[in-house]
Amino acid sequence: MGVKAKLYPKEAARLLREKPGVREAVTGATLHFEQGRKKAYGEIDAEAWRERAKRVKDHLLSHLDHYLELAEKRLREKGVQVHWAEGPEEAHRILREVVARHGVKRAVKAKSMLTEELGVNPLLESLGVEVYETDLGEYLIQLLGEPPSHIVGPAIHLALSEIQRLFHGRFGTPLDASPEALAAVARKVLREAFLTAELGISGANFLVAETGTLALMENEGNIRLSTSLPRVHVAFVGIEKLLPRLADLALFLPLTARAATGQRLSTYVSLIQGPSREEEEGPKEVHVVLVDHGRTTLLHDPEAWEVLRCLRCGACLNACPVYRQTGGHPYGYVYSGPIGAVLDPGLLGLEDTYPLPYASTLCGACYEACPVKIPIPKLLLTWRNRAVERGLAPTWEKGAIKAFSQVMQSPSLYRLFSKALRGLPLPQDLLPLLKAWTEGRGPLKPSPKPFHELWQELEE
């Protein structure tokens, strides 16, 4: 996927101006998820669960080489073909071979953010393969030609009326068709695709190293169909998605479900143990592609690696009041919201993602929600500091902060500033800031006298 993160401030403003419906839809959906999460966390000792999950992930990440080797070994023992992909190019090569060897004409896909990262759909299309996203939300945005707006709910930015219009144009359903009727139409199309596709593509929520088990969570049943009906299954797995032991699933499956949607467990959990045997149904060939795409570099970054604990549950997006105003599109990359703001700079470099770490008020709601306790506010601050040190901050900001700190360093300048606020002209560097402030909030109204003058009166 292309990276448009640099446009975040403009795109966020434009979206708020031009598509107010998005704000309404996203706010409604995320508040709903957020309430669900709070309730689901309330039923358990969330603090203890989060701490345990964090420890397991930290252990895994600090022994990642070991667990990757173990996972590869176990997968091969089960007859899975294991591949390593440093980035999109290698992933594409692997996929191209599979397509050529099996004469793939049609592929069904289970929702996966990593395949968005790798640009799997455009590749397949360029090979003449028909691709069907089979998650309902993902299917909708595929029809619209849009990227996902949310990690878990890719289409949460759409209002029902938009979906009705879309289906009316495509399938001739009435403009007031009920959600059930629309889902039935999609189901019919997708069922046909499931039955005829030669290739199923998925990501993975977890890959258990001890047993070589792929774990996939979902609510619609489409992942199970995508990974069991076609003859060939290819799973793309980020190297950070491993878990050491099968027993860890007992913590991570319910914790992820609680964090993501407020469920105790997702409706379906698929545990995949390699290709089917002679007498069984299911894919005859299973490939696991272990993808790096910037993760190793991040792992060795002592101030930013914690982001690799991420389970992609989306809880931080749901909790984030900044994300809620616009949804994910203005962030300009696969990962949006708080996690995007600290992951994207790590994966893509700060130069291409500069505004993202600033897309937060540091309110801390994301940290409170995160099931693996990723200190997102701290990471945001780290990336901001790096941005400043690399000279990426805009000139006006540098000027303003410099002027500000000079004033604050010197009591006499501060007294002058205090007078200026109450009538004298202010330093030029601060003026653009003032304008940005007053446009939406009216003129600044300082107290008639600052406290430091009143203090003298209090003392007398």
Partner 1 sequence: MRVALFITCLADQFYAEAGVATVRLLRALGVEVDFPKGQTCCGQPAFNAGHWNEARSLAQRTIRILEDAEYVVLPSGSCASMVRNHYPELLPGDGEALRLSEKTYELSQFLVRVLGVTELGKGLEGKKIAYHHGCHALRELGVKEEPLLLLKNGGAEILPWEAAEECCGFGGLFSVKLPEVSLAMADRKLSTLPQADALTSTDAGCLLHLSGRMGKRGENMRVVPLATLLWEAYGG
Q: Which of 206, 204, 202, 203 is nearest to 57 (CA)?
A: 206
Q: How far is CA 181 from CA 164, 184, 222, in A?
A: 10, 5, 18
Task: Pick from 98, 190, 216, 339 the residue near ligand SF4 by CB under 6 A.
Answer: 339
Name residue, tokens 């029809």.
143
Q: Which is nearer to partner 1, 339 or 356 (CB)?
A: 356
Task: Pick from 1, 7, 16, 185 the residue near partner 1 by CB under 8 A.
Answer: 16
Smallest distance, partner 1 to C-beta of residue 392, A: 9
- Is 254 an interacting residue with respect to ligand SF4 (CB under 6 A)? no
- Is 349 an interacting residue with respect to partner 1 (CB under 8 A)? no
Q: Which is nearer to ligand SF4, 13 or 265 (CB)?
A: 265
Smallest distance, partner 1 to C-beta of residue 339, A: 17
Q: Enumerate the H helices of 210-309 as residue ranges.
A: 222-228, 249-261, 295-299
- Interface residues for partner 1 in 268-327 (CB under 8 A)? 321-322, 324-326
Task: Pick from 170, 188, 191, 452 the residue near partner 1 by CB under 8 A.
Answer: 452
Q: With H, G, I as helix, E, B as strand and everything else as coil, classify residue 232.
A: strand
Q: Which of 371, 264, 285, 365 is nearest to 319 (CA)?
A: 365
Task: Pick from 145, 425, 440, 460 the residue near partner 1 by CB under 8 A.
Answer: 440
Backbone phi, psi, residue 208, to 5°: -80, 120
Q: Which tokens is 304 given?
A: 């930013």
Backbone phi, psi, residue 269, to 5°: -125, 120
Packing angle, helices 337-348 and 376-389, rounded to 10: 40
Task: Pick from 313, 320, 341, 359 the residue near ligand SF4 by CB under 6 A.
Answer: 313
C-alpha 108/C-alpha 232 separation (Å) is 11
Task: Pick from 23, 76, 96, 224 the residue near partner 1 by CB under 8 A.
Answer: 23
SS3 helix, strand, coil % of the chain, rounded to 5? 60, 10, 30
- Is 428 an interacting residue with respect to partner 1 (CB under 8 A)? no
- Is 420 an interacting residue with respect to partner 1 (CB under 8 A)? no
Smallest distance, ligand SF4 to C-beta of residue 149, A: 14
Asked if residues 356 and 341 have their Cβ atoms less than 8 Å apart, the reply is yes
Task: Pick from 1, 418, 426, 427 the residue near partner 1 by CB under 8 A.
Answer: 418
Separation of CA 417 from chain center: 43
- Is 404 an interacting residue with respect to partner 1 (CB under 8 A)? yes
Residue 132 CB neighbour total at 10 angstroms: 20
Asked if residues 263 and 40 have their Cβ atoms less than 8 Å apart, the reply is yes
126 binds, among partner 1, ligand SF4, none (CB under 5 to 8 A by kind): none
Q: Which of 232, 1, 216 is nearest to 121 (CA)?
A: 1
- Is 310 an interacting residue with respect to ligand SF4 (CB under 6 A)? yes
Separation of CA 218 from chain center: 16
- Is 237 an interacting residue with respect to ligand SF4 (CB under 6 A)? no
316 binds, among partner 1, ligand SF4, none (CB under 5 to 8 A by kind): ligand SF4
Instruction: Identify each DSSP E strand in 188-343 by its residue range.
Output: 199-202, 206-208, 213-218, 232-238, 242-243, 268-272, 285-291
Segment interacting with partner 1, rule: CB under 8 A, options 101-109, 188-196, 223-231, 433-441: 433-441
Q: Which is nearer to partner 1, 282 or 399 (CB)?
A: 399
- Is 25 an interacting residue with respect to partner 1 (CB under 8 A)? no
- Is 320 an interacting residue with respect to ligand SF4 (CB under 6 A)? no
Q: Which is nearer to ligand SF4, 212 or 377 (CB)?
A: 377
CA angle 83, 235, 119 (to 5 degrees): 90
Task: Pick from 13, 144, 250, 431 the residue near partner 1 by CB under 8 A.
Answer: 13
Separation of CA 112 from chain center: 11
Smallest distance, ligand SF4 to C-beta of residue 340, A: 9
DSSP state of 276: P
Residues 6+ apart with CB under 8 A from 176: 164
Q: Which is nearer to ligand SF4, 164 or 318 (CB)?
A: 318
C-alpha 61/C-alpha 393 separation (Å) is 32
What track of x and - describes contact with ligand SF4 for positions 120 through 159 (by CB under 6 A)?
-------------------------------x--------
The site for partner 1 (CB under 8 A) is made up of: 9, 12-13, 16-17, 23, 27, 321-322, 324-326, 357-365, 367-368, 381, 383-388, 393, 397-398, 401-402, 404-405, 407-409, 411, 414, 418, 421, 433, 436-437, 439-442, 444-452, 454-455, 458
The site for ligand SF4 (CB under 6 A) is made up of: 151, 259, 310-316, 339, 369-372, 374
